Amino acid sequence: MKILVTGGAGFIGSHLVDALMERGHEVKVVDDLSAGSLENIKRWLDNERFEFIKGDLREPSVCSEAVKGVEAVFHLAANPEVRIGAQSPELLYETNVLLTYNILEAMKRENVEYLIFTSSSTVYGDAKIIPTPEDYAPLEPISVYGGVKLAAEALISGYAHTFDIKSLVFRLANIIGERSNHGVIYDFINKLKANPGELEILGDGTQRKSYLHVSDTVEAMLYLFERFKEEGKIFDVYNLGSEDWITVKEIAETVSKGMGLNPKFRFTGGVDGGRGWKGDVKFMRLSIEKAKAKGWKPRMNSYQAVERTVKELLG
């Protein structure tokens, strides 16, 4: 299959590209390299089944060029940083909603059959049911980031039903692993490198979430895409996460241990009852029963994924 991966030089995108190339697909990547890096995809740059386009998808002409000739688009290009929402709603809107609109328009023009979109657990906001199933309502995001992901999902559903773009949405838990260049584990490692004696923890440390290793994430996306194609549906949504959850304090302990350190923890206290920032969801664990019923389950739980990521990021 000829497949476009937007954001394919980024963290999750580059792992997806590895898996697609290893399975023999023709892969095109479009990335503006604002957060992604050519280093992540360098092993494929000279491969004849691989094509790289450096471009900003906010430009409709870049979208047209990117989707030309492909049968499926994995749309991962986005700004993934929840915490910038209070300062930069416009950036989150542009990189999540406008970008998705531009991709959908280009796909409509070029008659591309499949869209696979990486949404986020943040669409559920402070869910009252945990583990949270896909049909949980009302969807009430508490961050601008969650809001723009939900808006993008809604736009995709509308285009899917109106223009027959078969669309599959994944609501991701916190994805971690090699090549991640943001998020709590990455931050803790950098803070401890700068000051091995003390670790600042945002919030009260009791924020508890489900973490999924990127290798499990990519497996799930490709496996469930195959099932989606067999079923011939026009639109579907899956949660992807692990079945347990882990607190920020436990992550701090795991990172410290992995670095052979025993720092003093300093909790900032955070906002709104111990959140790291305004809009930080404090408790998140997704029901993955729907994906499990199709035959997927994660190989690593949150603890194992965190331990492995610490090793991978420390090299």
Binding positions for ligand GDU, rule: CB under 6 A: 80, 82, 120-122, 172-174, 183-184, 187, 201-203, 207, 209, 248, 276, 280, 284
Residue 170's SS3 state is: strand
Q: Considering beta carbons, is residue 73 or 284 the nearer one to ligand GDU?
A: 284
Q: Considering beta carbons, is residue 44 or 188 the nearer one to ligand GDU?
A: 188
Q: Considering beta carbons, is residue 57 or 199 the nearer one to ligand GDU?
A: 199
Q: Min. distance of Cβ 52 from ligand GDU in angstroms?
A: 24
Q: Considering beta carbons, is residue 12 or 17 the nearer one to ligand GDU?
A: 12
Q: In the bound complex, which residue of the shown chain has the CB atom lying closest to ligand GDU? A: 276
Spatial separation of the C-alpha atoms in residues 89 and 78, rounded to whole Å: 13
Handedness of CA 70, 21, 300, 246 (dihedral sign): negative
Q: Considering beta carbons, is residue 65 or 272 the nearer one to ligand GDU?
A: 272
Q: Min. distance of Cβ 61 from ligand GDU in angstroms?
A: 28
**Helix or strand holding residue 213 (H, E):** strand 211-213
Spatial separation of the C-alpha atoms in residues 84 and 144, rounded to whole Å: 9
Spatial separation of the C-alpha atoms in residues 170 and 160, rounded to whole Å: 15
Sequential DSSP letters for 191-211: HHHH-TTEEEESTTS--EE-E
Q: Min. distance of Cβ 5 from ligand GDU in angstroms?
A: 17
**Helix or strand holding residue 128 (H, E):** none
Tell me which of 93, 114, 124, 145 is the catalytic residue.
145
Q: Min. distance of Cβ 281 from ligand GDU in angstroms?
A: 7
Beta strands 208-209; 246-247: pairing state: antiparallel
Q: Give the residue from 38, 297, 303, 284 showing the smallest Cα distance to 141.
A: 284
159 catalytic per annotation: no
**Helix or strand holding residue 54 (H, E):** strand 50-54
Catalytic residues: 145
